[in-house]
Copies of this chain bind each other. A is one copy, B any other.
Amino acid sequence: MSFLPAELIKKKRNGLSHSRDELQFIVNGFLNGELPDYQMSAWLMSVFFKGMDPNETAALTDIMLKSGRTLDFSNLSGLTVDKHSTGGVGDKTSMILAPIAAAAGARVPMIAGRGLGHTGGTLDKLESIPGFRINLTLEEFQEQVERIGVAIIGQTAEICPADKKIYALRDVTATVESLPLICASIMSKKLAEGIGGLVLDVKFGSGAFMKTIEAADTLAEKLMAIGSAHNKRVAAFLTNMEQPLGRFIGNTLEIGECVAILKNEAYLSVAPESFTDCRELSLELAGSMIWLSGRSTSHAEGLALAREALDSGAAWSKFQELCSAQGGDLSRLPTPRSCLEVRTEQSGFVSALNTEMIGIAAIVLGAGRLKTTDSIDSNAGIRIHKKIGEAVKEGEILYTLYASGSGDDPQVQRSRRMLLDATTISLQKTDVPDLIARRKVN
């Protein structure tokens, strides 16, 4: 069916609902180049302002899913499972929980994304491992999941090509934060993986796309509804992103932190206990993945299996197996060079961190992209010395910056100022928020 693109933009702009045919015309037209990107971005901004009803969201998910190939793991015993995070700052759990769950017998066919907005992306992180191939063919991907239980790749041209193209455009047109677009993008990609179960890590707070737990809950409900409609088992965690997860932001730095957690050792002189938040969240999410895969009969039992896989070193072995299966050489992981220490002029306690601003400060150093064509400096990033509730004294280090330039570099200085602006120090000690605020199952 054919429509007038400008009239469809106008229709959404005026708050009306699209038919499935109209959505198909828009999405497929954009994908095959008949609907130019400037019309697509105007339509996306209209969706940002006017939303979509549940029928539109479901249709959009299905159209994006069917724009490409879908995988089928029904030949394997048990359900394949995956985890999806709505994105945070310093969120590196994928690289920890995927090997944990696989080591515990689950099958994890993970199609991951790149940095979006102020958050990092699993693919950018994995690519900081020399040689790591995120672009396996779907045949290689499927074979690897069957053979070692886990594979992590980027969205190939064959999987949800419509989502891939739309996602890139949203990133540079301030249309990321749209609930129906987020839901359709997440679920189309995950459903294409051929999974039987999905664990959602829906983040809220200053570093998340959802600033409040209520907004995160709404998003979780919408995602779970799409999952249920497709007969998938879905569990959702609402987790706190009022501060970065773990101690490092940046691609190589986060891989280093993951390795330290998997091996239970220090990284860049940061002791393993400093990584507790990131480790525990990874275990909880992996526990639910194990449960949904059918390898345990409850989340609690799954969590125990996850902890065993981590403590025994099985997860670390699985991560090494994953890296070498995909060509990654962990022995050649660089050690990033620090260029500036950011110190406080106040004494007291860290009471709040503007985590979105911290994420942008890392991007300014080169850890992410300001526009899609930008290249990333894998070794750029930030070490967070002080987290919420921790005491600081005048002159102490709050952050260490890692970048290729010198500390006087304008971008480094800009990042420094952003970090100081992002950090609130008070005389009274603040309670540390619970990392896992709510757990939901459908």
What B residues does A40 contact at CB under 8 A?
Answer: 38
Decide: B4 and A42 in contact? CB cutoff 8 A.
no
What B residues does A174 contact at CB under 8 A?
Answer: 6-7, 9-10, 13, 42, 46
Decide: B49 and A173 in contact? CB cutoff 8 A.
no
Q: Is A102 an interface residue (CB 8 A)?
A: no
Decide: A38 and B173 in contact? CB cutoff 8 A.
yes
Q: Is A44 an interface residue (CB 8 A)?
A: yes
Q: Which of B6, B36, B371 contacts A171 (CB 8 A)?
A: B6
- In angstroms, Cα B368 to Cα A7, docked, is 14
Decide: A39 and B42 in contact? CB cutoff 8 A.
no
Interface readout for A27-55 with B: 1 if CB under 8 Å, 0 if not?
A: 00000000011111110111011000000
A441 to chain B, nearest CB (A): 34
A423 to chain B, nearest CB (A): 20
A2 to chain B, nearest CB (A): 10
A52 to chain B, nearest CB (A): 16
Copies of this chain: 2
Interface readout for A241-274 with B: 1 if CB under 8 Å, 0 if not?
A: 0000000000000000000000000000000000
A49 to chain B, nearest CB (A): 5
Q: Which residue of B lies closest to A40 (CB)?
A: B38
Q: Is A194 an interface residue (CB 8 A)?
A: no
What B residues does A186 contact at CB under 8 A?
Answer: none
Decide: B42 and A6 in contact? CB cutoff 8 A.
no
- In angstroms, Cα B49 to Cα A44, docked, is 13
Interface readout for A401-416 with B: 1 if CB under 8 Å, 0 if not?
A: 0000000000000000
Query: Which of A5, A39, A174, A371 has the largest count of B CB atoms less than 10 A from its CB?
Result: A174
Interface residues of A: mostly helix, strand, loop or mixed? helix
What B residues does A6 contact at CB under 8 A?
Answer: 117, 171-174, 370-371
Q: Which residues, 358 to 406 on A, are CB-close (under 8 Å) to B?
A: 360, 370-371
Decide: B371 and A5 in contact? CB cutoff 8 A.
yes
- In angstroms, Cα B44 to Cα A210, docked, is 25
A224 to chain B, nearest CB (A): 28
What B residues does A49 contact at CB under 8 A?
Answer: 45, 49
Q: Is A179 an interface residue (CB 8 A)?
A: no
Q: Is A169 an interface residue (CB 8 A)?
A: yes
A178 to chain B, nearest CB (A): 10
- In angstroms, Cα B65 to Cα A182, docked, is 40
Q: Is A175 an interface residue (CB 8 A)?
A: yes
- In angstroms, Cα B36 to Cα A371, docked, is 10
- In angstroms, Cα B106 to Cα A50, docked, is 48
Decide: B41 and A4 in contact? CB cutoff 8 A.
no
Interface readout for A170-211 with B: 1 if CB under 8 Å, 0 if not?
A: 011111000000000000000000000000000000000000
What B residues does A171 contact at CB under 8 A?
Answer: 6
Q: Which residues, 1 to 24 on A, are CB-close (under 8 Å) to B?
A: 4-7, 9-10, 13
What B residues does A45 contact at CB under 8 A?
Answer: 13, 41-42, 45-46, 49
What B residues does A370 contact at CB under 8 A?
Answer: 4-6
What B residues does A48 contact at CB under 8 A?
Answer: 13
What B residues does A41 contact at CB under 8 A?
Answer: 38-39, 41-42, 45
Interface readout for A336-361 with B: 1 if CB under 8 Å, 0 if not?
A: 00000000000000000000000010
Interface readout for A154-176 with B: 1 if CB under 8 Å, 0 if not?
A: 00000000000000010111110
A396 to chain B, nearest CB (A): 31
A361 to chain B, nearest CB (A): 12
Using A13-B48, A46-B174 as known contacts, list a sample of 8 further A-B pairs with CB atoms less than 8 Å apart, ordered by residue number in A.
A4-B370, A6-B171, A6-B370, A10-B174, A38-B169, A38-B172, A39-B41, A45-B49
Binding site for B on A (CB under 8 A): 4-7, 9-10, 13, 36-42, 44-46, 48-49, 117, 169, 171-175, 360, 370-371
8 contacts between A and B (CB under 8 A): A4-B370, A5-B172, A6-B173, A13-B45, A39-B173, A42-B44, A42-B175, A49-B49
Give the top 6 A-B pairs by smallest Cβ distance, nearest first.
A42-B173, A45-B45, A9-B174, A10-B174, A37-B38, A38-B41
